[in-house]
Amino acid sequence: MKPIIKLNPLLNIYTQTFSPLLWVSFLLAGVMKEGIWHKAEIGSPQGGVISSLLANIYLNYLDTIWEKRFSHLGKLVRYADDLVILCRLKPQALESIRILKSIFGKLELTINTSKSKLVRLWKNEDGFDFLGFHHRKMPYLHKNGVMYRLRSFPSKKAMKKMRLRVKKRRLQEADSNGH
């Protein structure tokens, strides 16, 4: 799930903790894309040098409340503003989504529905991509028969990106060698 973080709540938290001028400068700096400056309109710029730190500070409340009150539903795994909740059963997953929406509401966040989905790992039907890896339950032979384990391997998107980087490097080397 990917939250959309608004600018005003961020400013309130950060200016109470750190130098207001520093945070306002980072949050309002905007971003450069293909040599063109774009004004920051909502929250911290995606991929900005400070955005992971800001997300971690802001979403610390989510981590704390989940661990204290909702960890029985599933394991919350979060890296900056990317997160997954690993639940054993579908009812736990549905309850987790309901609670996550409620917590996000208190933080003035919304779930980015275009980047979020409920994955049916419990039926071994599909997996999910998280932090450049594809995760899914896969069978393995055990002395008691076939068992399932969550396995991880590079996602298709990560592999495509890596192939493009290798191709680009080869072309650069060929150009530098005069080919």
Whether 11 and 108 have beta carbons less than 8 Å apart is answered as no
Q: What is the mean pLDDT of residues 168-174?
A: 87
Q: Can you give the pLDDT at residue 8?
A: 55
Residue 166's Cβ-side half-sphere holds a number of Cα atoms within 13 Å equal to: 6
Check pLDDT > 60 for residue 112.
yes
d(CA 54, CA 26): 10
pLDDT: which is higher, 47 or 162: 162
pTM: 0.67
User: Distance between CA atoms of 92 and 66, rounded to whole angstroms?
Assistant: 13
Q: Estimate the share of the chain in helix, then strand, then coil, as percent rounded to the nearest 5.
A: 45, 25, 30
More confident residue, 23 or 164: 164
- Cβ proximity of 33 and 115 under 8 Å: no
Q: What local confidence, expressed as pLDDT, does residue 55 receive?
A: 81
Query: What mean pLDDT is reported for the chain?
Result: 80
